[in-house]
Structures are given as C-alpha cells and as structure tokens.
Amino acid sequence: MPLPPTTVQRTLKHVRSVQLSGYKRSDGCWDIEARLTDVKDHDYPLSSGLRKRGEPVHDMWLRVTIDHKMAILDAVASTDAMPYVGYCDRITPSYAQLVGLNLFHGFRTAVKTLFRSTRGCSHLSELAMFLPTAALQTFASDVPDSGEGGQKPYQLDRCHALESHSDAVRRFYPRWYHGQKPG
C-alpha cells in the first residue's frame, strides 16, 4: 500500500537511490553489493563545481564477500561520483577494515566505531548498515524457511512479526510457537 497522497503542492528536489544485490559465488561464498546514488532534479551549484540536473552528486559502491557464517572475508568500496573529486574518494580503502567482522554479531556497532566522524564516509557507512539484512535475504534463497530437519527457521525471532510468541509464528510455524509472551 503506498503512502497516502499529500495535501500540499510540492516540488521534487532530491532522489537518493539505494540498491542492494546478493550473489552466490562458485567458491561457496556470497557477495553482497550495495550502491548509493544522489541525484538532484535541478542544476546544483557546489563549491567544487556545478552538477547538472540528473547528474549524480554521489555514486558510491560497497561490496563484501562473506562465508556461510556471515563473516566478512573481503571488502571493497569505490566512488564514481562525489562532490569533491580527489578528496571524498581517499577514504574508500579504509572500508577494507570490514574484513573480519560478522554481519550478524556486532556489525553495526563496529561500523559506527570504525568509521565515526571523519574516519569514514557517511554515505559508505550508511550503505554498510544495509548489508546484514541484504545478506539474510540472499541466504533465504538457499535455505528452506519451514524448519525441516529439526532446525529452527533462521528468520524466527529476527523481527516483531516472527517473534516466537507471535500469531504469525503460531499460524505458519506452529512447531516453533512458544505461547503467549511472558510478562
């Protein structure tokens, strides 16, 4: 269901697009790629020069390679469009520091610590925050969600709708339903 219509006339000024893609690799690992673009609907004057309408102000990429335990084995960032050419793109090699982190264990906190303030690019760090859920959706393509084989389905207790005490779990995963939430 889309958002309700607005009641006030408005003018489009900015579009940020974020795209995430997940790939299964032939070596048994996965690549998660994230891309962020910022585009203005008008000519946009910057101290570094004019960006014409539709020309990206930002076009940034981040890719991590992960194993089946969500450990990051490789990380690379690139910047194709930026406000300050030769300056903004200097930080991209720093995102190799993601190697060794785990997308499901303290990842977002680690990103905030590693790349706080001027130690990172706010746009690349924002992209990094999308990686855990994109990886989960990528893995979902290969993992049955039914809990067959006696193992709890991976998606349970990861969001409010699929909390072990929820009506959704009672209906779709009765074996894993724990009754009413205590307290």
Domain identity same for 52 and 137 = yes
User: What is the rounded CA–CA span in Å between residue 87 and residue 76?
Assistant: 18
Bigger pLDDT: 89 or 157?
Answer: 89
Q: Are residues 39 and 119 in the same domain?
A: yes
Same domain, 152 and 132: no
DSSP string, 24-46: E-TTS-EEEEEEEEEEESS-EEE
Q: Are residues 103 and 122 in the same domain?
A: yes
Residue range of the domain that includes 177: 145-183
pLDDT at 119 over 80: yes
Residues 96 and 150 grouped into a single domain: no
Question: Is 6 among the domain residues?
Answer: no
Q: Say whether both 106 and 165 belong to one domain.
A: no
Asked, for residue 151, whether it belongs to a domain, the answer is yes
Please check whether residues 52 and 134 belong to one and the same domain: yes
Chain segment 54-71, per-residue pLDDT in tens: 999 999 999 999 999 999
Q: Read off the CATH number of the domain in which 57 is found.
A: 3.90.1010
pLDDT digits (tens, 9 = 90+) for 2-57: 999 999 999 999 999 999 999 999 999 999 999 999 999 999 999 999 999 999 99
Number of H helices, E strands in the chain: 3, 6
- Total domain count for the chain? 2
